[in-house]
Amino acid sequence: MHKKLGSGLNSELRRVEEKEKENMAITLNNGFKMPIIGLGVWRVQGKEIRDLVLNSIKLGYRHFDCAADYKNEAEVGEALKEAFDGGVVKREDLFITTKLWNSDHGHVLEACKDSLKKLQLNYLDLYLVHFPVATRHTGVGTTDSALGDDGVLDIDTSISLETTWHAMEELVSLGLVRSIGISNYDIFLTRDCLAYSKIKPAVNQIETHPYFQRDSLVKFCQKHGVCVTAHTPLGGAAANTEWFGSVSCLDDLVLKGLAEKYKKTAAHIALRWGIQRNTVVIPKTSKLERLKENFQVFDFEITKEDMELIGGMDKKYRTNQPARFWGIDLYA
């Protein structure tokens, strides 16, 4: 009797765990599941990468957001190999994203293979067009900004985004990539991609947070089956303040007040708000305590009234400004 009861209880617990696991992922338009929270590795270099990746996996992270332009794919690859070889996790348990850099729009296949080699992977779960602009080719594997003599980004007008997208589609046919998507595309560019694509973009990764909500773009993408991933979901915090002189939404009195109400942190509130918008969030940190903190967003829910309160915080305030490095504002 007790054995049967114990067996039944264990089965119920397993069902609950599976349900929770299911709720922590979004099903993309091609049927693949993408964990709703991930870890971005931008601005993390050297030996920090190993500890960051291994610690995050042990904490439960299964989604890692990389890019050729982050210049750390090789280090991420070493950490992933260590995790696989040590039996910490299996390849199929992880969702790995990386991105095509601007200067490689005319060399999509070579760029993808270069990223795979550095990451020591046989396939990518998601490959994104990092920015909707092709620039002068500087050699596969090199991602320095292609600036002209005038200090302005050297944009290549001979390569269309449609051409780039069809090359991305070939990667799926070759089995190198499971899903393809776009990044930093507005409504018009996303609409065009949907029109000319044979394989629809599964994801549009954009900056969005309580100070930069982009409700129309989010709604448009979701209406057309394109999952939105929020990069900079915490408004950039100290990192973007340092790089771009921006202000963080985490210091806003509304978020601080809600943090006190829910007995959470302002970061928890911002991330939970993003999740309840049905967007994937990929906060960045190299600190163990923050890694733990950012993952603790599934044990509470923000009320409809408080979601609306956060909705009133929108300042249409972009914190990530590549114009600082490119001499031209692509968002103008």
The first and second tokens of residue 141, run together, are 């594997």
Provide the phi-psi class of 82: left if phi over 0, else alpha when psi is between -120 and 50, else beta.
Answer: alpha
Dihedral (Cα; 284, 289, 15, 85), 10-degree rounding: 70
On whether the CB atoms of residues 324 and 244 are closer than 8 A, the answer is yes
> Is residue 130 part of an annotated ligand binding site?
yes
| Helix or strand (DSSP H, E) at 266 | helix 266-276
What residue has token string 């959470």?
A: 264
Distance CA 67, CA 147 (A): 20
- Number of Cβ within 10 Å of residue 235's Cβ equals 28
Residue-wise burial string across 285-313, b where 16 or more C-beta atoms lie within 10 A, e elsewhere: bbeeebbebbbebeeeebeeebeebbeeb
CA 100-66-69 angle, 5° bins: 50
Q: Between vectors from CA 18 to CA 180 and to CA 50, what angle results, nearest 5°?
A: 55
**What residues act catalytically?**
70
* Residues in Cβ contact with 164 at an 8 Å cutoff, skipping those fewer than 6 apart: 100, 105, 108, 129, 134
Q: Give dist(CA 100, CA 106) in Å, integer.
A: 10
CB atoms within 10 A of CB 196: 12
Summarize the annotated binding site as residue ranges.
130
Summarize the annotated binding site for substrate as residue ranges.
130
